[in-house]
Structure 1
Amino acid sequence: MVILYTFISEDKHQDLVCRYLNTFSEAFKNKILKYRRWQDAQLSLLGRVLLRHGLKSYYNIEDAEIGFLSGHKPFLKEHNIYFNISHSKNLVACAISDFPVGIDVEFSDPSINYQDFKFQMTPAEFENVDGSADKINTFFTYWTEKEAVIKAHGDGMMIPLDSFEILHNECSIDGKKFFTKKVFIDEQYLSCIASNDPVIKTKEIILDKFSM
C-alpha cells in the first residue's frame, strides 16, 4: 500500500496547470477550470496527478479509467486496485492499495470550536474530546477516523457521523466491520486510513512525498 502526498503552492500553480491539465479528459479539465480559487483547482488537479503517478510507479498501470459507484465513490475500471483521495488546507494525499481503502486528512486548526460539532458525535465521543488535555488533537483524531471509515464504506453523507463509534480501531456499520489506522504525514495535520479488510492493521505503508 502506498500513500502519496504533496503540498500546494501558488508559485507553481500556472506551471502545474500547463504541465498536467491537458493530459486529462475534457470533463476533468472543465471541472478544474470552473474553480474560482487557485487552491481548490490545484488540490483537485494534484489529487489526480498523485493517483496517476502512484498507479504507474507502484502498480505498473497507465491510463486507467475512473468510474463511480452509486455513492459517488470513484473506482478503477478493469483493475482490482483501489484508491481514495483527500485534501485539507495545503495538503493533498492519495492512498492506493490492493484492498478497499478510505483516507482522510485534516489540518489541525487551533481556531476550531469542537463544540460546534457536538451534534455529530455520540455522547461518549464528545465526553472523550471535552475531557481531553489536547481537545483539538483529540477532536481531529475523531474526525479523520470517522471520515476515513465513511469513505471506505462508500455511501458518503448517507451515513451520519454520530451513527457509529470507533473503539480500538474497529467499528461496525449495518453489520459490516471496518478497521482504522492512524498515519503520520505532517505535524500540522491528522490523517487516518480505513478499510473493511483487516489486513490494513498489519499492511506495510509506503509514504511517498511527490515532488512537483
Structure 2
Amino acid sequence: MFQVPRLFALHIDEMSQSDYSEYNTNSDSSITFEDSLKSIQTRLGLLLAKHCIGLCCNISPENIEIQKRSSGKPFWKNDNQLFFNISHSNQWVICGIGNLEIGVDIEYVKRKSVDSISSTFFSTLEQDYIKNESDKIRAFYRIWTLKESYLKCIGRGLKYPLKGFCVINHGSVVWSDRSIKNTVFNLKSFDLDSDYIIGICIKGKQLPKTIETISVSELINKNNGSEHDNYSPYN
C-alpha cells in the first residue's frame, strides 16, 4: 500500500462534444446547463476515483466497486484501509486518496463580498486572518475549502457548526469538539490556476506535495465499462 497521500485533478473543459453528450445523463430539454454539468461532474468524479484507486493499488478500474456510507462519504467496498474523497466545481473535478481518512474541497473564486458569510461561519481568528490578507476573497475561499475538507474528512458535512473549529493554526485544526480534539489532522491549501482553490485534510501527518493532473481522454479510455456503481457524491 502506498504511504504518501495523492491529489488528482481533472479538467472537464478538455472533453470533446461526443464525450460531453455521452456523460450528460440529462436528456430532458428543460434541464438547465448547471444541472447537466453536475451530472457530468458526478459521473466523471466516480471514474476519477476508480482511476486513482487503480493507479495507486495496481488494479483495473473495472474491478473497483464504490459505495457510500450513511453520511454520504464514498468508500471502496474491497479495502477498508484505503480512503478517498471527491469534489468538483465548474470545470474541475478532484480526488484525494490515501491510507488514512481524507477530505477534499475545491471552489471557484467568485469576486463578490464575503463579509457576512465570514462573520456568520468563521471563528474570530479566521476572520482576523482574512482581514490581514491583501486578497481577502482568496483568503476567504482558502479558509472555506479547508473547513469543508475537514468536515468531509470526519464525515460530518456542513450541518456541523463551522464556528465549532478553527483551521488557522500553522496548518492544523483547532477544535472545540472534545470528542476528536486529540486526533491528528493536518490541512493544506492549493491554488489550481488563478480561479480555483483546493483544501485538503488528512487524518495523519503526511500531505500531498503536488496536484497530479489527468486528461479526460486518459480517464475515459482506462475506465470504459466501469461506471455503474450505485453512488452519488456530494461536492
Q: Decide: shared fold, TM above 0.5.
A: yes
Q: Deviations over 1:10-60 (max 9, x none)?
A: 963542453x68xxxxxxx7xx77975221111111111211222222322
The TM-score normalised by the length of structure 2 is: 0.74
In the other structure, the counterpart of 2:198 is 191
CA deviation string 1:88-123 (max 9, x = no partner)? 122111112222211111111113x21130200112
1:39–1:121: structure 2 CA closer, same or farther, 3 Å change rule?
same
What is the identity, as a one-letter code, of the residue corresponding to 1:208?
T
- Equivalent positions of 1:95-134 (< 5 A) are 95-111=96-112, 113-117=113-117, 118-134=119-135
Which of 4, 8, 26 aligns to 1:4? It is 8
Residue 87 (structure 1) shift: 0.9
Matches within 5 A, 1:133-212: 133-166=134-167, 167-171=169-173, 172=175, 173=177, 174=179, 175=181, 176-200=183-207, 204-205=209-210, 207-212=212-217
Q: How does 1:12-161 map to 2 (within 5 A)?
A: 12=16, 14-18=18-22, 36=32, 37-61=35-59, 62=61, 63-79=63-79, 80-111=81-112, 113-117=113-117, 118-161=119-162
Structure 2: distance between partners of 1:64 and 1:124: 42
Q: Partner of 2:221 in structure 1?
A: none
Q: Secondary structure at the match of 1:177?
A: coil
Task: Select the structure with the greater relative contact order (CA < 8 A; seq sep ≥ 6).
Answer: 2
* Residue ranges of structure 1 left out of the alignment (5+ in a row): 22-28
State how far apart, in whole Å, the 2-side matches of 1:39 and 1:10 are.
Answer: 14
CA displacement 1:57-86 (0-9 Å, x = unmatched): 232233222232232211111212111001
Residues 86, 94 of structure 2: 8 Å contact kept: yes
**Residues 17 and 59 (structure 1), Cα distance of their counterparts in 2 relative to 1, 3 Å cut:** farther
The residue identity in structure 2 corresponding to 1:68 is: K
Q: Secondary structure at the match of 2:216?
A: coil
Classify 1:60/1:152 alpha carbon distance in 2 versus 1 (closer, same or farther; 3 Å): same
Counterpart code for 2:145 = T
Distance change (3 Å), C-alpha of 1:165 and 1:38: same
Q: Give the TM-score of the pair, scaled to structure 1.
A: 0.82
| Aligned-partner Cα distance in 1 for 2:171–2:56 | 27
Measured in 2, the distance between the counterparts of 1:164 and 1:69 equals 24
